[in-house]
Chain A
Amino acid sequence: MRNHDLIIVGAGLAGMRAALEGVKAGIDVAIISKIHPLRSHSCAAQGGINAAINPKDSRESHTFDTVKGADYIGDEDAIQLMCQEAPEAILEMDRMGTPFSRLEGGLIAQRPFGGASFDRTCYAADRTGQVLLHTLWEQLIKAGVTVYEECSVLRLVTDVEGHVAGVVVYDIKTGEVFPARSKGILMATGGYGRVFFSNTNATTNTGDGMALALRAGAPLADMEFVQFHPTGLLTTGILVTEGARGEGGYLINVDGDRFMGKYAPKKLELASRDVVSRAEQTEIMEGRGRNGAVFLDLRHLGAEKILERLPQIRQLAIDLEGVDPIHDPLPIRPTAHYSMGGIRTDKFGASPLPGLYAAGEAACVSVHGANRLGGNSLLDAIVFGKISGQHVSQYVKQQGSQRDFPMDALVEVKGRISSLKRGQGMRAPELHTRMAQALNLHCGVFRTPEGMATMAAMIPSLRAEYARVSVQDQSDIFNVDLLRTWELGNMLDLVECIAKGALARQESRGAHSRTDFPNRDDQNWRKHSISHWDANKGEVVLSYEAIRTLGLPEYEPMVRSY
């Protein structure tokens, strides 16, 4: 039996940042990740990371922008903590070796981002996530942290008292299924963007950690809030950073009109992401798009600025869309991007399930509420990676010996793998497409009551189909076919949370935009939706929870205009 004080699942920014705190606390910490740490999707974050490091800016202003950006459903204690800790978190990364872009005099450079009242997004050209990820990986090596690379966690296991006892691990390289025991578990597995057909996410972003937590008895919160990024490339959905608009890019329709003036007269292209995505979708639906897209126009920035500030983006546009933004506008559309929802935690990352912590996109702390501001996701991962890492380490230290690991969990997982391999139904890719296309159609930028109801009603038939799903690859070694089939089961759970949460929430708030309830309803709906797994019924059930407020007048809900 493998034993560790703390097991962290996921090796992106949040997971690695937390691991360093475990090392500092002197506990035995191990990371389990289904991909090598450097392949983690944190690397794809392009534009930057917010922090009030300029003396003219303030942490209070950052907090206010985030509370407002979240459409008044974020937890204010957590938002305040994040914005307070942001400058130090950035400077720590800087000291570890992140090569942030600099101003004359050496200060870290900052650029404007959507929904922010100050230019507070620190960046390293247009590959901020990548350099942050590499910096933490460097520190991970320096600290000698154990990493189970290319190992997928298939079960989160609890003991008779309902405390986490460990995980069941599947070694992708060998097919070995083994138990690993720990006194605490931190989920840092990222988001679930792949549940949507059109998304900016990596193929590995299947929300595994959330599904594992849900099935182990932990609640998920606000799963209906999914951010649609305003600038996904038309063909592939690949992300074009908000930094492109931050640097002065225009959004234009097929007639060449800069349409954002109609929707957000003050902030224009740099309004909050939900606002911009709805504007684009409206233009497209009213016939002013082309092939389901509008355009990001960077031509007026000039070749020099594009090459200096957005070099990677330009290359991506050429490679994936065949368009050089120096010469032509880029076809873009709103594309599923970020999961505001996740494992419900307090501001220290602790979930209600004893011993389970979560951080980063996998968690719902909740700092993003109904809509995340650009530049706040890397920050969330770094700050709450650190904080939850500290807290879970202390928690683990207070625990006695390892818990009893119920070995029937291992037997059950092995049995499940065998039965998947024996399935006779359709293959996972086909079923995934069916599910993801439906979700895009019914729970997209604009949501109709009929659409959401249709989606929720589809779940039992999708589950029935999944029960018979077939796997072609029967081997033990690097069986991606099997792994993806397993992940589809995780995604089905999350889709149910999204569809049910969306259908139940009778208002429009942030990224959740209903045609039948177009307005925000603070009276009835300023609360978190909580999804639970009801093992007896075999389905997701909802409850609600009050948001954590600070009781300050400046954070009272007001009309959100940009």
Chain B
Amino acid sequence: MPVYTFRIQRNWKTDQGTLESHYRDYTLDVSATTTVLLALEEIKSQQDGTLTFRQSCRSAICGSCAMKISGRTRLACKTHVGEVARDGVIVLAPMANQPVIKDLVVDIGPFYKKVHQIRPYLDDGPEKAHTLDKSAYDQVNHVTQCIMCGCCYSDCTMLEVSDDFVGPAALAKAFRVVSDPREGQKTARLQELSEPSMMWSCSRCAMCVESCPKDVKPMEAIVKLRTRGMAKGFVDGPGAKHALAFHTDIQKWGDLNEFTLLQRTVGIMGAVAELGTAWHLLKKGKIPSPIPHTAQGVEELRKIYQLLEDNPIDVETKAKEVVPE
């Protein structure tokens, strides 16, 4: 069996309450198909009882053992050593975007607080359906696979720069609630989700889709939430305005009018606040032309738009088509 090196970030609180951190190497003879969790258990039981990580079910359903494995957040119990070793080395670290408690264990409190923030349960109300058919949950089949492991939260590039963002898992849960025919407050929820730090704060980088071990596709859920929010008339926030500005420009010119995009997204005062940035851009010759540029073949594009408006693609059916390979 090959010998692997497990380079593990050890973290511990000092008596002063600060966090000390260093990497320690452990070597282990295991087959390439051994899971990282099994390897960790082996190290803990045979080499170092102080090594600490969360785990429980061993079968990718409880969500305990999410950690950074060779740079990406994964569940240790469903990741094979051989898949993630680089030159025989596997690097393990705690999840990101969360305070570290010890070694590979993070404080899951802030993550769950945000999930609680979206009110993760069905509410009674006027929009509640009282009959269901076979396809009632087609929309939520992906998102109900969520096990709240936090992989998406840890790898979210938006959370890296903004602590306030509610995060992909909470939004996927919000989508699960909004999409349930039995939910009674769909519109009120969409309004709340249109507030700052909610669904419009996602940058659609797709890291959450990549990281999710359960094929939840949080970003797709976020995109659908946005579409539904706009359909309900929640278009006053910068996110929705930005999307509408894109829409208008492409339809009209086939190209973005970046000169006015900012003002249309954040308003006149918002744009004034960015004058400093504009000055830097101007110095570098990066200010786009204020005169809208018409793209070549824009007639063709307008026809496509017209066709789509006459025959709207039902974004609600997207989930059905996605079948695991």
What is the interface of chain A, defined by CB distance below 8 A to chain B?
Answer: 35-36, 38-41, 43-44, 95-97, 99, 101-106, 124-125, 127, 130-131, 134, 138-139, 141-142, 173, 202-204, 236, 238-239, 307, 311-312, 315-316, 319-320, 322, 427, 429-430, 471-473, 475, 477-481
In Å, the complex CA distance between A95 and B180 comes to 11
* Count of B interface residues, CB-CB < 8 Å: 53
Can you name 22 A-B pairs with beta carbons within 8 Å?
A: A35-B62, A35-B64, A38-B63, A97-B180, A99-B136, A99-B144, A102-B133, A102-B134, A102-B136, A138-B120, A138-B121, A141-B121, A142-B119, A142-B121, A239-B59, A320-B59, A320-B78, A427-B45, A427-B49, A472-B49, A478-B105, A480-B53
With a cutoff of 8 Å between Cβ atoms, the chain B residues found around residue A134 in the complex are: 144
Quick check: A44 and B59 within 8 Å, CB to CB?
Answer: yes
Say which residue of B12, B46, B53, B116 sits within 8 Å of A477 (CB atoms). B12
A71 to chain B, nearest CB (A): 29
CB contacts (< 8 Å) of A471 on chain B: these are 49
Top 6 closest A-B pairs, CB basis?
A472-B49, A429-B45, A138-B121, A481-B49, A106-B132, A473-B50
User: In residues 105-159 of chain B, which contact A (Cβ within 8 Å)?
Assistant: 105, 108, 112, 116, 119-122, 131-134, 136-137, 140-141, 144-145, 147-148
- From A39, A320, A427, A430, contact of B62 by CB (8 A): A39
List of B residues within 8 angstroms of A101 by Cβ: 137
One of B33, B56, B141, B180 near A203 (C-beta < 8 A)? B56
- On whether the beta carbons of A311 and B48 are closer than 8 Å, the reply is no
B244 to chain A, nearest CB (A): 33
* Closest chain B residue, CB of each to CB of A236: B58
Residues from chain A with Cβ under 8 Å of B44 in the complex: 429, 480-481
Verify if B182 is at the interface (C-beta below 8 Å from A): yes
B34-60 residues with Cβ-Cβ distance < 8 A to A are 35, 38, 44-46, 48-50, 52-60
CA distance A37 to B60 in the complex (A): 16
Interface centre among A124, A142, A322, A480 (most CB of B within 10 A): A480
Closest to B53 in A: A480
Bound CA–CA A478/B101 (angstroms): 8
How many A-B contacts at CB < 8 Å in the complex? Answer: 140
- Which residues on B sit within 8 Å (CB–CB) of A40? 62
The answer to whether the Cβ of B323 comes within 8 Å of any Cβ in the partner chain is yes
* B121/A202 in contact, CB under 8 A: no
- Chain B residue with Cβ nearest A314: B324
Which A residues lie within 8 Å of B50 (CB)?
472-473, 475, 481
Please indicate the chain B residues that have their CB under 8 angstroms from the CB of A99 in the complex.
136-137, 140-141, 144, 180
Contacts of A130 in B (CB 8 A): 61, 147
Chain B binding surface, main DSSP class? loop
Contacting residue for B102 out of A202, A236, A472, A477, CB 8 A: A477
Contacts of A430 in B (CB 8 A): 45
A127 touches B145 (CB 8 A): yes
In the docked arrangement, what's the CA distance between A202 and B64, Å? 11
Of A105, A471, A477, which is in contact with the most chain B CB atoms at under 10 Å from its CB?
A: A477
Contact among A106, A319, A429 for B133, CB-based, below 8 A: A106
**Chain B residues in 8 Å Cβ range of A311:** 324
Complex CA–CA separation, A60 to B102 (angstroms): 53
B280 close to chain A: CB less than 8 A: no
CA distance A477 to B99 in the complex (A): 14
| A475-B12, A475-B50 known; A103-B102 Cβ under 8 A | no
Bitwise, B1-41 to A at CB < 8 A (1) or not (0) is: 00000000000110000000000000000000101001000
- Contacting residues, chain A, for B35 (C-beta < 8 A): 319-320
Inter-chain contact B121/A477, CB cutoff 8 Å: no
On whether A203 and B324 interact (CB within 8 A), knowing A105-B133, A106-B136, A173-B101, the answer reads: no
Bound together, the chains give a CA A479 to CA B50 distance in angstroms of 8
Q: Is the CB of B62 within 8 A of A202?
A: yes
Please pick, from A39, A138, A477, A478, the residue contacting B56 in the complex, using a CB distance under 8 A: A39
Contact partners of B108 in chain A: CB under 8 A: 36
Given the complex of chains A and B, what is the CA–CA distance between A475 and B20 in angstroms?
A: 14
Contact with A along B308-325 (1 / 0, CB 8 A): 000000000000000110
Task: Using known A-B contacts A38-B148, A102-B137, A475-B50, determine if residue A97 contacts B122 with beta carbons closer than 8 Å.
Answer: yes
* Nearest CB of B to A373, in Å: 22
> Apart from A104-B133, A141-B121, A236-B38, what are 5 other A-B pairs with CB-CB below 8 Å?
A142-B121, A320-B78, A478-B52, A480-B52, A481-B44
Question: Does A307 lie within 8 Å of B323, measured CB to CB?
Answer: yes
- A319 CB contacts on chain B under 8 angstroms: 35, 60, 78, 80
Residue numbers of B with Cβ under 8 A of A are: 12-13, 33, 35, 38, 44-46, 48-50, 52-64, 78, 80, 101-103, 105, 108, 112, 116, 119-122, 131-134, 136-137, 140-141, 144-145, 147-148, 180, 182, 323-324
A425 to B123, CA, bound (A): 55
User: What B residues does A477 contact at CB under 8 A?
Assistant: 12-13, 101-102
Most buried by A among B121, B122, B136: B121
Question: With the chains together, A316 CA to B148 CA distance in Å?
Answer: 18
**A236-B58, A477-B102 in contact; A139/B52 too (CB < 8 A)?**
no
Which chain A residues lie closer than 8 Å to B54 at the CB level? 39
Would you call B62 and A43 a contact (CB within 8 A)?
yes
Closest CB-CB distance, A121 to chain B, in whole Å? 18
A97 cross-chain contacts in B, Cβ below 8 A: 121-122, 180, 182
A12 to chain B, nearest CB (A): 11
A478 to B10, CA, bound (A): 13
C-alpha spacing A482/B246, complex, angstroms = 58
Contact of A127 among B61, B103, B121, B132 (CB under 8 A): B61
Contact between A204 and B58, CB atoms less than 8 A apart: no
Asked if A141 and B120 make an inter-chain contact with CB atoms under 8 angstroms apart, the answer reads yes
> Given that A319-B78, A478-B105, A481-B49 are known contacts, is A39 also in contact with B63, CB under 8 Å in the complex?
yes
A103 to B136, CA, bound (A): 10
Contact A204 B56 (CB under 8 A): yes
- Chain B residues contacting A124 (CB-CB under 8 Å) are 144
Q: Which residues of A contact B147 (CB under 8 A)?
A: 38, 43, 130
Docked Cα-Cα span, A111 to B24, in Å, equals: 50
**CB distance A203 to B58 under 8 Å?**
yes
Residues on B with beta carbons closer than 8 Å to the beta carbon of A173:
101
Which residues does chain A contribute within 8 Å of B132, judged by CB atoms?
A: 102, 106
In the docked arrangement, what's the CA distance between A36 and B12, Å?
22
B residues in contact with A38, CB < 8 Å: 62-63, 147-148
A125 to B324, CA, bound (A): 14
Q: Assess whether B134 is in contact with A202, with CB atoms less than 8 Å apart.
A: no
A180 to B262 Cα, complex, angstroms: 57
Q: Are A96 and B122 in contact (CB under 8 A)?
A: yes
Q: How far, in angstroms, from A307 to B325 measured CA to CA in the complex?
A: 8
Q: How far does the alpha carbon of A478 sit from the alpha carbon of B99 in the complex, in Å?
A: 14
B189 to chain A, nearest CB (A): 14
Distance A316 CA – B75 CA, assembled complex (angstroms): 13
User: B55: nearest residue on chain A (CB-CB)?
Assistant: A203
B49: which A residues are within 8 A, CB to CB? 427, 429, 471-473, 481
**How many Å lie between the Cα of A343 and that of B49 in the bound state?**
32
CB pair B57–A202 under 8 Å, yes or no, is yes
**Which of chain A's residues has its CB closest to B50's CB?**
A473
- In angstroms, how far is the closest chain A Cβ from the Cβ of B116? 6
Min CB–CB distance A244 → chain B (angstroms):
14
* Contact B324 A44, beta carbon cutoff 8 Å: no
Bound form: Cα–Cα A99–B52 in Å: 36
What residues on A are CB-neighbors of B46 within 8 Å?
Answer: 429
Task: Return B182 CB to nearest CB of chain A, in Å.
Answer: 7
What is the bound-complex CA distance between A203 and B57, given in angstroms?
Answer: 6
Q: B33 — which chain A residues lie within 8 A by C-beta? A: 322
